[in-house]
Amino acid sequence: MSLPTAASGALFERARAVTPGGVNSPVRAFNAVGGTPRFIRSANGAWLTDVDGNDYVDLICSWGPMLLGHAHPEVQAAVAAAVARGTSYGAPTEPEVDLAEEIVARTPVERVRFVSSGTEATMSAIRLARGFTGRDVIVKFAGCYHGHVDSLLASAGSGLATFAVPGTPGVPESSTALTLVLPYNDRAAVEKVFAEHGDRIACLITEAAPGNMGVVPPEPGFNAFLAETCTRHGALFVSDEVMTGFRASKLGQWGLDGAVEGWRPDLMTFGKVMGGGFPAAAFGGRADVMSRLAPEGPVYQAGTLSGNPIATTAGLTTLRLATDEVYAHIGAAADTIKTAASDALSKAGVAHTVQATGTMFSVFFAEGTVRDFGDASRTDGAAYAAFFHAMLDSGVYLPPSAYEAWFLSSAHDDRAVQTVLDALPGAARAAAAAQAPELETR
Ligand SMILES: *Cc1c(COP(=O)(O)O)cnc(C)c1O
């Protein structure tokens, strides 16, 4: 079966003539899986409808934000009421204060500053860490994505403890010359760079649980070890929860391990769910660190649309509706889909590994535990591409990349989940037929 795609194809042609690659963020293109991206006309609950009239169960949820599903009536009503009052004033508003209070109440941060994207949040957190410590070096992990910040678009140099090289053309060497890139979950590598450069390190930034190389959970105690190592060397521990915050669990990844193990980050970043489908993000943390930020302190940071009343209203409404029941529902749906996907792939003889952190999970088309970016790179891209297209043709919209989490919402009801379950066996057989021959797998 192949679904009609003429209208998407025509829009893609128009888009490519006026926009690089026809998309406004690269992963929306189907470059990794081939074919034409679907242009979405509308969405409701767990479902997307494309411009050709095809319906899909959405397993992307806007790459995380749509925790309550699309067009949630209470979020829509709050947003509509906010729009009726005007959309941006360039002066402070009540929804900003409400949302800041909600985030301070639910996370270890004592003060929070709003921005418009996760990229801005991590960029600003790093500037603040450097301003607070008076140091310049930053440490990150390979495979952790923190937005398109120059100094974080860095690849490991030729050995551990050597400084990074630009990860993309357009980033000057000087922008990554103060960045150290380490393998994830590797304590020895962390110890080595702190032993060598500890007194120059402003901060270590990590995804609280990586989701941008597929879901790679921190090994037990790894975040606690990072927090302790940073503290010992006078560096700040920056936990990037743009993806996991209010998504992996009600309290994010910090709630899954920090609250249990008794550590807290010095700075955190948030985005995605906290914007409720609008451009809103935040960074926050210790009061003494955050007070170094302008206008209270000397570290400059600003934004014309920061704390926008529509975005903060959508985010606040979403967080208030994100009850224990919401996370329990998403967790149960995730378990059903994870198990069924693994069963179908096993039956078809497709090498795979399912990994999860809280309600977030991903299916790697590779054998064995994925601990870091090197392991994730063993994924069989051809098998995933075949699987992706078979699922799409059966009405399930997966991430068009093998290195992503699958996202669910509280609107993923029995009908939506059953649509996914029905599609899996055929897609697993398609993946089996496309699998790289064993001798050629890296
Ligand atoms: C999505 C993401 C970002 C970047 O957020 P944008 O809003 O896309 O700029 C940063 N960090 C993590 C962990 C993310 O998942």
| pLDDT for residue 375 | 96
Q: Kindly tell me if the per-residue pLDDT of 39 is higher than 60.
A: yes
Sheet hosting strand 40-44, strand order edge to edge: 40-44, 47-50, 55-58, 396-397
Nearest by Cα to 334 from 363, 361, 355: 361
Q: Which residues of 202-219 are buried (b: 16+ CB within 10 A; e: fewer)?
A: bbbbbbbbbbbbbbbbbe
Residue 269 Cα to ligand 1 midpoint, Å, equals 9
Same domain? 105 vs 240: yes
DSSP state of 199: G
161 lies in the same domain as 304: yes
In the prediction, which pLDDT does 438 show?
Answer: 64
Whether 250 is a known active-site residue: answer no
Distances (CA, A) of 401 to 32, 306, 394, 425: 6, 31, 18, 20
- Statement to judge: residues 17 and 87 lie in one domain: no
440 pLDDT band (50/70/90 cuts)? very low
- Does residue 95 sit in the same domain as residue 186? yes
Residue 137 domain-assigned?
yes
Check pocket membership of 178 for ligand 1, CB cut-off 6 A. no
Closest atom, ligand 1, to C-alpha of 119: 9
**What is the domain-level CATH number for residue 18?**
3.90.1150.10
Instruction: Note whether residue 147 is domain-resident.
Output: yes
Identify whether 192 is a catalytic site residue.
no
- Does residue 219 have a pLDDT over 80? yes
Domain's final residue, options 321, 355, 371 = 321
Q: What is the CATH number of the domain that holds 214?
A: 3.40.640.10
Q: Is the CB of 242 under 6 A from ligand 1?
A: yes
Q: Out of 50, 140, 184, 240, which one is annotated catalytic? A: 240
* Cα–ligand 1 centroid distance for 121 (angstroms): 9
* pLDDT averaged over every residue in the chain: 96
- Same domain, yes or no: 94 and 239: yes
Kindly give the number of the ligand 1 atom that is closest to the alpha carbon of 120: 9
Residue 286 lies in a domain: yes
206 and 308, same structural domain? yes
Closest CA to 326 of 1, 123, 39, 61: 61
Give the range among 1-15, 210-224, 312-326 with minimum mean pLDDT.
1-15
CB distance 282 to ligand 1 below 6 Å? no
Tell me which of 272, 375, 380, 403 is the catalytic residue: 272
Pairing outcome for strands 353-357 and 40-44: unpaired
| pLDDT for the residue 442 | 42
In a domain, 261, yes or no: yes
Q: Is residue 377 part of a domain?
A: yes
Is residue 180 a part of any domain in this protein? yes
Please work out whether the CB of residue 122 comes within 6 Å of at least one atom of ligand 1: yes
Say whether pLDDT at 441 is over 60: no
Tell me what the mean pLDDT of segment 57-71 comes to: 98
Confidence of residue 257 (pLDDT cuts 50, 70, 90): very high
Tokens representing 314?
Answer: 């959508």
Across the range 230-250, mean pLDDT stands at: 98
Angstrom distance (rounded) from CA 309 to CA 303: 13
pLDDT tens readout for residues 106-162: 999 999 999 999 999 999 999 999 999 999 999 999 999 999 999 999 998 777 667
Burial category of 378 from C-beta neighbours within 10 Å (exposed 0-12, middle 13-18, buried 19 and up): middle
Q: Indicate if 271 and 354 belong to the same structural domain.
A: no
The CB density around residue 155, as the number of other CB atoms within 10 Å, is 13
Ligand 1 contact, 119 CB (< 6 A): yes
Of the chain, the percentage scoring pLDDT greater than 90 comes to 96
| pLDDT value at residue 383 | 97
- 216 and 335 in a common domain: no
pLDDT above 70 (res 307):
yes
User: Residue 295: is the preceding peptide bond cis (ω within 30°)?
Assistant: yes
Residue 419 in contact with ligand 1 by CB distance below 6 A: no
Q: How would DSSP label each residue in 10-72?
A: HHHHHHHHHSGGGSSSGGGS-TTT-SPPPPEEEEEBTEEEETTS-EEEESSGGGTT-TT-BT-
Q: Of the residues 50, 56, 140, 145, which is catalytic?
A: 145
272: CA distance to ligand 1 center in Å?
A: 7
149 CA from centroid of ligand 1 (Å): 10
- Whether residues 280 and 386 share a domain: the answer is no
Given 321, 354, 382, the domain boundary residue is: 321
Structure-token match 């025509």, residue found? 10
Are the C-beta atoms of 411 and 69 separated by less than 8 Å?
Answer: yes
Does residue 240 form part of some domain?
yes
The residue segments making up the domain with residue 392 are 6-67+323-440
Question: Catalytic annotation on 56?
Answer: no
Between the CA of 136 and the centroid of ligand 1 the distance, in Å, is 22
User: Number of structural domains, the chain?
Assistant: 2
DSSP code, position 442: -
Per the domain annotation, does 1 fall within a domain?
Answer: no
- How many angstroms separate the alpha carbon of residue 3 from the centre of ligand 1? 32
Ligand 1 atom closest to Cα of residue 210 = 13
For residues 100 and 227, state if they share a domain: yes
Same domain, 378 and 287: no
Residue nearest to atom 6 of ligand 1 (CA): 118
Q: Which of 254, 289, 321 is at the close of a domain?
A: 321
Considering the domain architecture, whether residues 20 and 165 belong to the same structural domain is answered as no
Mean pLDDT of all residues in 26-47: 96
Number of Cβ atoms within 10 Å of the Cβ of 222: 18
